[in-house]
């Protein structure tokens, strides 16, 4: 039926075309008819399909009354968890174990018959005779020292520290030096040794020979240990943390023993191993003074905080501290305040004025508030703390070269200060900003090689990842807008906005540099002493930070309060010359002669006039060093036999 209807429709349509010319060819007519049928069927097909689906008419409101309902906003992706790049770690210090050996094992073997070679000189014969009588006395000592003793006495089988039946005067002097190791902040019990008395029983010559040989071996071992500790320190600083970086093994046990054996005066040789920096003698003097003093300490409880107008139960102690520690001019200016104070607890305006002057005298912000910074100048560091800090300073100085050089730069991190010395005189000193506790400045020494003017700042990967990457996840163009240049590892420059930062949650395969200019983090110049820690001295646009008392604020480098003056000093130029190089593109000037730089850490350090200053342990490095020293002394005590 359907086919009949379609054929009828097609025939009617063909007849309807009366105005078209007649088709004479049957084939052509047949093709036209099929074409008409096919096209008609194709045109009708969508209509049938549409008819099969329900139709919905969208109501259109007048344009002026259209209310657009916002679609649900697409959720922003959740922030990626960044794999933070952490700084170096502190270690649990492990002291090297000692060897417990018999003294006989350190000495050459004797002939089984006990016969003596007739050509041996007297002292060698005496030594050989003593070997046969040597008891199985045990000795605890470092393995390297034991090996050095064994090698020495195999090659030189004779006494060093006795002649005939008595200890030499040199041996007595050497033993006295070891007993006085405390003067260097060392534990004398680790070195001291009793000298055999002159008197002995003539009826027991064998026992005397054995006694002198035991004294010989033990004095040699203790003297070598003392030499190594005095020269390089008791503790290996590189085992304290990744922030410590010092050359080691500058003196070997073999060399120390060889020098002791050949020295006309062994005591004089040991003195040559002491640090030659003037501060070492000053620290020793301070240590002796502190140990002999019996003074009343003024200690204000930690956490005391007093604002003007408040009452404070520690105020009597604070006034006592002000009376003792205020400058003479300040004390005279406020004499009436001191005289009228009767022990009250009210922090009134007169005492506030006194505190402000005290703060000015000590370079503090004169706000009249007694907080932790002011307390640091008012409250005494306890005597025991001072002694320990001086002992630790002596140990740290032994890690350094014996001499700093006539020209050098010394940066003391806890003091927030950098000092330039020339001809052994401090000629320039300035405030510094050092690394935050989470970005600590390393402890090492190197040589200054160059000054860079108008520097680019090469952003470390730790800053890119820890601080910039979260911003780049939200805004890929962040670096482009803020004056940074991004390059691939091959050096090809890439727009920050064209990088899919979202792919990275850790180190990125790009280098980022900040262009020179007034906003550059390095300011106008940097002073380089190339090192693996990427630490250097530099300028900063954040000048206001130098007014703070606590200045552990950087990512690890050392910011200088007077960078142009320091650059002029190390280059041997004047500041006008340095200023003439500021502005424009980056340029480098090499020093004619490299200058040692010591990026140091001392919580006790003397001023040039010998006054000892004490500083906060901003990185807790005193604590870690103290633990390490206790570990070494503990091992030596436990194995002492």
Contact status, residue 274 vs residue 230, Cβ threshold 8 Å: yes
The answer to whether residues 488 and 510 touch, using CB atoms and an 8 Å cutoff, is yes
Query: Rounded to whole angstroms, how far apart are CA atoms 178 and 176?
Result: 5
* Residues in Cβ contact with 233 at an 8 Å cutoff, skipping those fewer than 6 apart: 395, 396, 398, 399
Q: Which two tokens stand for residue 97?
A: 């174990």
- How far apart, in Å, are the Cα atoms of 318 and each of 146, 372, 637? 56, 13, 43
Helix axes 169-179, 205-232, angle to 10 degrees: 50
Helices (DSSP H) in 326-406: which residue ranges? 328-333, 335-340, 349-361, 372-378, 383-397
* Listed residue (549, 524, 518) closest to 432, CA to CA: 549
Give the residue among 625, 618, 602 at the shortest CA–CA distance from 91.
Answer: 625
Q: Nearest Cα to 274, choosing from 238, 224, 226?
A: 226
Phi-psi region of 256 (alpha: psi -120 to 50; beta: other; left: phi over 0): alpha
CA atoms within 13 A on the CB side of 350: 14
Q: Which residues are catalytic?
A: 538, 557
Given phi > 0 = left and psi -120 to 50 = alpha, else beta, which region is 405?
left
SS (H, E, C) 421-468: EECCEEEEEEEEEEECHHHCCCEEEEEEEEEEECCCEECCHHHHHHHH
Distance CA 266, CA 247 (A): 26
Q: What angle do CA 556, 615, 296 make, to 5 degrees?
A: 165
Give yes or no for a contact between 97 and 635, defined as CB atoms under 8 angstroms apart.
yes
């Amino acid at each position: 039926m359907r086919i009949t209807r379609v054929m009828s429709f097609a025939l009617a349509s063909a007849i309807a075309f009366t105005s078209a010319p007649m088709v004479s060819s049957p084939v052509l007519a047949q093709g036209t008819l099929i074409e008409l049928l096919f096209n008609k069927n194709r045109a009708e097909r969508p209509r049938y399909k549409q008819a099969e689906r329900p139709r919905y008419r969208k109501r259109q409101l007048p344009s002026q009354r259209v209310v657009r309902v916002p679609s649900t906003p697409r959720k922003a992706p959740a922030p990626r968890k960044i794999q933070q790049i952490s700084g170096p770690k502190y270690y649990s210090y492990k002291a090297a174990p000692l060897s417990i050996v018999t003294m006989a094992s350190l000495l050459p073997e004797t002939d089984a018959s006990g016969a003596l070679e007739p050509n041996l000189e007297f002292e060698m014969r005496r030594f050989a005779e003593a070997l046969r009588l040597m008891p199985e006395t045990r000795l605890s000592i470092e393995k390297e020292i034991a090996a050095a003793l064994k090698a020495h006495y195999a090659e030189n089988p004779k006494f060093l520290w006795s002649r005939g039946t008595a200890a030499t005067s040199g041996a007595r002097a050497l033993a006295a030096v070891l007993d006085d190791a405390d003067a260097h902040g060392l534990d004398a019990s680790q070195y001291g040794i009793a000298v055999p008395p002159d008197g002995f029983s003539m009826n027991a010559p064998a026992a005397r020979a054995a006694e002198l040989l035991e004294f010989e071996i033990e004095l040699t071992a203790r003297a070598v240990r003392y030499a190594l500790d005095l020269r390089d320190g008791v503790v290996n600083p590189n085992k304290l943390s990744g922030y410590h970086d010092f050359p080691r093994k500058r003196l070997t046990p073999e060399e120390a023993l060889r020098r002791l054996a050949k020295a006309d005066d062994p005591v004089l040789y040991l003195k040559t191993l002491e640090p030659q920096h003037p501060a070492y003698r000053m620290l020793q003097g301070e240590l002796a003074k502190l140990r002999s003093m019996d003074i009343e300490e003024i200690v204000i409880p930690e956490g005391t905080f007093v604002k003007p107008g408040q009452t404070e139960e520690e105020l009597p102690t604070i006034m006592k501290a002000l009376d003792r520690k205020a400058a003479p001019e300040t004390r005279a200016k406020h004499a009436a305040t001191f005289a009228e104070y009767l022990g009250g607890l009210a922090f009134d305006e007169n005492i506030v004025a006194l505190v402000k002057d005290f703060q000015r005298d000590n370079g503090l912000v004169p706000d009249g508030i007694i907080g932790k910074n002011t307390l640091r100048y008012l409250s005494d560091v306890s005597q025991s703390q001072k002694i320990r800090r001086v002992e630790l300073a002596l140990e740290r100085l032994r890690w350094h070269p014996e001499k700093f050089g006539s020209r050098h730069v010394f940066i003391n991190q806890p003091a927030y200060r950098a000092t330039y010395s020339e001809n052994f005189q401090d000629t320039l000193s300035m405030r510094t900003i050092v690394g935050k506790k989470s970005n600590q400045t390393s402890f090492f020494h190197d040589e200054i090689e160059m000054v860079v003017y108008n520097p680019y700042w090469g952003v470390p990967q730790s800053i890119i990842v820890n601080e910039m990457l979260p911003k780049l996840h939200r805004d890929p163009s962040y670096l482009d807008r803020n004056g940074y240049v991004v390059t691939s590892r091959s050096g090809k420059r890439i727009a920050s906005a064209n990088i899919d930062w979202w792919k990275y949650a850790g180190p990125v395969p790009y280098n980022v540099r900040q262009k020179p200019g007034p906003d550059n983090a390095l300011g106008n110049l940097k002073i380089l002493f190339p090192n693996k820690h990427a630490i250097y001295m530099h300028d900063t646009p954040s000048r206001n930070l130098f007014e703070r008392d606590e200045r552990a604020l950087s990512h690890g480098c050392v910011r200088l309060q007077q960078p142009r003056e320091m650059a002029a000093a190390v280059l041997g130029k004047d500041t006008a010359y340095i200023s003439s190089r500021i502005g424009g593109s980056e340029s480098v000037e090499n020093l004619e002669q490299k200058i040692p730089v010591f990026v140091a850490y001392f919580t006790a350090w003397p001023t040039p006039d010998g006054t000892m200053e004490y500083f906060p342990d901003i990185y807790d490095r005193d604590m870690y060093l103290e633990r390490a020293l206790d570990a070494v002394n503990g091992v030596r005590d436990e194995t002492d036999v």
